[in-house]
Amino acid sequence: MISIARLYNIFVMEQSSYGSAISRRLNTTFAALANPTRRAILARLASGEVSVSELAEPFAMTQPAISRHLRVLERAGLISTASDAQRRPRKLDARPLAEATEWLEAYREYWEASFLRLDGLLGELKAANKKRKRPTARLR
Amino acid sequence: MISIARLYNIFVMEQSSYGSAISRRLNTTFAALANPTRRAILARLASGEVSVSELAEPFAMTQPAISRHLRVLERAGLISTASDAQRRPRKLDARPLAEATEWLEAYREYWEASFLRLDGLLGELKAANKKRKRPTARLR
């Protein structure tokens, strides 16, 4: 069911690579994603380049506070400044998201399997419930 | 190409839901994943239930340090204590990983599209390079 070999590879990779580039990038990517404002900024940028003042607009936050979030996203390589020298809009760089998705994908088989087990369990419970209810139905 | 509607929904959801359950769960899940030791522990648990001392073994870390990481994972709902009352092994709970994967999946079309653009660009550059090199080839 689950690709143990693949997960074990990740385990070994993670352990031997406290300093490895991918492991460090995953640290900063996941840390950057652990905040709702930063996730909202990324979602906004997925539709195209946006200036900092436009990015700040929907939030009840000062521009310095937004700028701090932008710096975290920038350091994680998730956004960069687009080429328009005057507006200096920000744009989404999706490569770290691809790496994070790949890391999580190794667990897909695991959680799909556990949901299937849950589904199976629910099915069994429903069937058992029906059996129990049958006499009552006959009495109607 | 990119499902803007879906991303916009996420954007609106995130904004209106500083307190929403999913948004808070994503905060704790991503924060828990932002550490190589915790990711290694999850990978180890994907192969089955493991006792705390076995979990600590491969790390150059004291057991209290490992216990702190386990508490972070536990608070994020990523692990729990299995039913064996004596060994109290930990087991993986994959539901938060499923939610995090779903959040990241909204960006898949985005980064797949940008990698395709990069591929296209590389193709064009190679083609342009070949054209430029043709005269040199004739001189050989």
Q: What integer pLDDT is reported at residue A77 of this predicted model?
A: 96
% chain B with pLDDT above 70: 77
Pairwise CB contact (< 8 Å): B26 & A14: no
Q: What integer pLDDT is reported at residue B42 of this predicted model?
A: 95
B2 pLDDT exceeds 70? no
A7 min Cα distance to partner chain B (Å): 6
A121 min Cα distance to partner chain B (Å): 16
Q: What integer pLDDT is reported at residue A13 of this predicted model?
A: 59
B80: its two tokens:
């729990």
% chain A with pLDDT above 90: 44
Residue of chain B whose alpha carbon sits nearest to that of A20: B36
A2 pLDDT exceeds 80? no
B38: its two tokens:
């915790």
Which positions in chain B touch A31 (Cβ < 8 Å)? Answer: 30-31, 34
Distance CA B53, CA B87 (A): 10
Alpha helix (H) residue ranges in B76-107: 95-105
From A10, A27, A111, residue closest to B94, measured CB to CB: A111
Distance CA B112, CA A97 (A): 11
Mean pLDDT (chain B, rounded): 82
Residue type, B103: W
Check: complex ipTM more than 0.90: no
Give me the DSSP letters along A36-77.
Answer: HHHHHHHHHHTTS-B-HHHHHTTSSS-HHHHHHHHHHHHHTT
Pairwise CB contact (< 8 Å): A44 & B98: no
CB B111 within 8 A of CB A93: no
CB A98 within 8 A of CB B111: yes
CB A95 within 8 A of CB A77: yes
Distance CA B74, CA B81 (A): 9
A119 min Cα distance to partner chain B (Å): 14
% chain A with pLDDT above 70: 77
For residue range B19-66, list pLDDT tens digits in order: 488 899 999 999 999 999 999 999 999 989 999 999 998 888 888 999
Mean pLDDT, rounded, for B87-111:
91
CB A82 within 8 A of CB A93: no
B123 pLDDT exceeds 70? yes
From B11, B107, B110, residue closest to A40, measured CB to CB: B11
Higher pLDDT, A42 or B131: A42
Helix H or strand E encompassing A103: helix A95-105
A19 pLDDT exceeds 50? no
B11 pLDDT exceeds 80? no
- The CA-based angle A26-B35-B107, given to 5 degrees, is 35
A134 pLDDT exceeds 70? no
- Model confidence band, residue A138 (pLDDT cutoffs 50, 70, 90): very low
Pairwise CB contact (< 8 Å): A108 & B101: yes
Alpha-carbon dihedral angle through residues B48, B52, B57, B59, given to the nearest 10 degrees: 100
From B8, B18, B30, residue closest to A33, measured CB to CB: B30
Mean pLDDT, rounded, for B120-131:
74
Distance CA A74, CA A105 (A): 24
Q: What integer pLDDT is reported at residue B130 of this predicted model?
A: 73
From B10, B43, B110, residue closest to A11, measured CB to CB: B43
For residue range A29-80, list pLDDT tens digits in order: 999 999 999 999 999 999 899 999 999 988 888 889 999 999 999 999 999 9
Distance CA B7, CA B1 (A): 12
Q: What integer pLDDT is reported at residue A59 of this predicted model?
A: 86
Q: What integer pLDDT is reported at residue B14 of this predicted model?
A: 61
